[in-house]
Amino acid sequence: MTETATEPTDQLRLVAVHAHPDDESSKGAASLARYVREGVKVTVITCTGGERGDILNPKMREDTEALADLPAVRRREMAAAQQVIGFDHEWLGFVDSGLPEGDPLPALPEGSFATLDLETAARPLVEAVRRLRPHVMTTYDENGGYPHPDHIMTHRVSIAAFEWAADPAFAPELGEPWSVTKLYYINGFSRQRFSAIARYLRAHHRASDDIEQMLMHFDEESDRLITTRVDVSDYLDLRDDALRAHATQVDPEGFFFAVGNDVLHEAWPTDDYELRTSRIGVTLPETDVFAGLR
């Protein structure tokens, strides 16, 4: 029999599945901070260690410690971001696939996360879901949010784990079945969002080249559906602190900080999600991923 939590006194639980350390801070961190402070048990699960990532912060490209052992540095950065937001954290333990470049694209490294068969890659997440028993799970859409092989694989294992964790016939050795009630895609980058921010900046004579350039890369017809907008006005500074904790990956003067939080408060003060699947009835749009569960 598949368990599911229905008692209103149950502590609400959320699992956010991400590909690499830093993804949790750039995608939905403010809403995680809000939910932690509302008493929700939030667990971030990171599929890979980010071993094949580069040092993206130009100010740290000569950092000898980071260059010598980037995986260890990224683990410390992850721990620092965890402390800022306050979530629990687990590593699935897979190896970063890297982002292939060239024409034709080279093969992914043997044994890396995105090369694994789906069941092998999903089993640890199934075990985690059955043990943590979340009511809500968040992940990436089928394009990975952007087409990094590990992001696409994160989507695939999340969808599989959502289904398999609830199936008593699948791998009973991984724990008692658990049915996650709602599954969301993180929808942090949309034409709607950038358009609203650009309009606000233009109206206040503060146009941003970064935002105007982002508009050129987004088409409203390709926007994902936003079903759920979580007000994070009071948590934007925590998101920024979590981003800065990933010092090798995030330039404190770069894109993520191009628009001040004073602007976001007025123009677009939400973290956005797309409800992919719900095992309870819902009324859309929502302002809470736990709508129907509280």
Among candidate residues 19, 15, 79, 87, the one with its CA nearest the CA of residue 51: 19
Question: Is residue 271 marked as binding?
Answer: no
Paired strand residues for 74: none
Tell me: is residue 251 an annotated ligand-binding position: no
Distances (CA, A) of 272 to 110, 175, 231, 289: 35, 32, 9, 10
How far apart are the C-alpha atoms of 187 and 223, rounded to whole Å?
9
pLDDT tens for the chain, 294 residues long, are 666 554 445 799 999 999 999 999 999 999 999 999 999 999 999 999 999 988 999 999 888 888 889 999 999 999 999 999 999 999 999 999 999 888 888 999 999 999 999 999 999 999 999 999 999 999 999 999 888 999 999 999 999 999 999 999 999 999 999 999 999 999 998 889 989 999 999 999 887 888 888 787 777 777 889 999 999 999 999 999 999 999 999 999 998 998 999 999 999 999 999 999 999 999 999 999 999 999
Q: Are 134 and 158 in contact (CB under 8 A)?
A: no
217 is in an annotated binding site: no
- pTM above threshold 0.85: yes
